Amino acid sequence: MKMRASRLATTGLCALLVALNLGTAWAGEVQVAVAANFTAPIQAIAKDFEQDTGHKLVSSFGATGQFYTQIKNGAPFEVFLAADDTTPAKLEAEGDTVKGSRFTYAIGTLALWSAKEGYVDAKGQVLKDNQYQHLAIANPKAAPYGLAATQVLDKLKLTEATKAKLVEGQNITQTFQFASTGNAELGFVALSQIYKDGKVTSGSAWIVPAELHDPIKQDAVILDKGKDNPAAKALVDYLKGPKATAIIKSYGYEL
């Protein structure tokens, strides 16, 4: 009986080691280009993704337009999480993506924000009052949130009044930094940068009504370099699942 128990224990240990080795063999790594507005959500998603799948997510953050240029120049990205739907669609039309992999993973929300408590009112009247010196926005040619900000100013007929006050960030992260450090009293930022679990986490903000700008539909796509990487497909599938979508919603995005 002791001999039999010993053999069973040895067999069980071997099976465990084989399973662990297979798990290591199956685990992969995926290189992801992530729009700057989605930094906090993808970092939260990455923890669950790596724990649940064994795959490692390696993220680079920046402006969608800049990523387009990098991808066209051969950057090693395998999945692209853009801040719009037009750039992934363009890459798709140009044959740089895996057909059928593109989908909308989030719909973004723009916010007018100040690091000062009580500075921004709930209706954004502070923008029209025009008593500030600097207004930060992201580069509208590279960052969809920057383009949305210019559309808001145009709709409110404030384009000319604010032109000399604009401080332009390369992406939405730099724009947020301008406002958070006080270099600009106000900044048009992504709601996800200042919002968590149903409330603004710091400063004061006006959540810009969606009708003041074009919808910020954010699409994800598997790039051609990721077509043979199981980790790339696993990430795209994971973004559609309940854990990821719950995190995305918690940062103020619509789905």
**203, part of any domain:** yes
Residue 140: which CATH number?
3.40.190.10
Summarised one tens digit per residue, pLDDT across range 33-77 is 999 999 999 999 999 999 999 999 999 999 999 999 999 999 999
Domain that holds residue 70: 28-107+216-250
User: Whole-angstrom distance between the N-terminal and C-terminal Cα of the chain?
Assistant: 60
Q: Which pLDDT band, with edges at 50, 70 and 90, does 106 fall under?
A: very high
Q: Are 207 and 228 members of one domain?
A: no
Q: Which pLDDT band, with edges at 50, 70 and 90, does 5 fall under?
A: very low
Using an 8 Å Cβ cutoff, are 33 and 60 in contact?
A: yes
Rounded Cα distance between 191 and 156, Å, is 20
- A 10 A CB-CB count for 175 gives 30
Summarised one tens digit per residue, pLDDT across range 204-231 is 999 999 999 999 999 999 999 999 999 9
Confidence (pLDDT) at 20: 40
Q: Are 208 and 228 members of one domain?
A: no
Summarised one tens digit per residue, pLDDT across range 154-163 is 999 999 999 9
Rounded Cα distance between 191 and 212, Å, is 15
Instruction: Give me the number of domains the chain comprises.
Output: 2
CA atoms within 13 A on the CB side of 76: 6
**12, part of any domain:** no
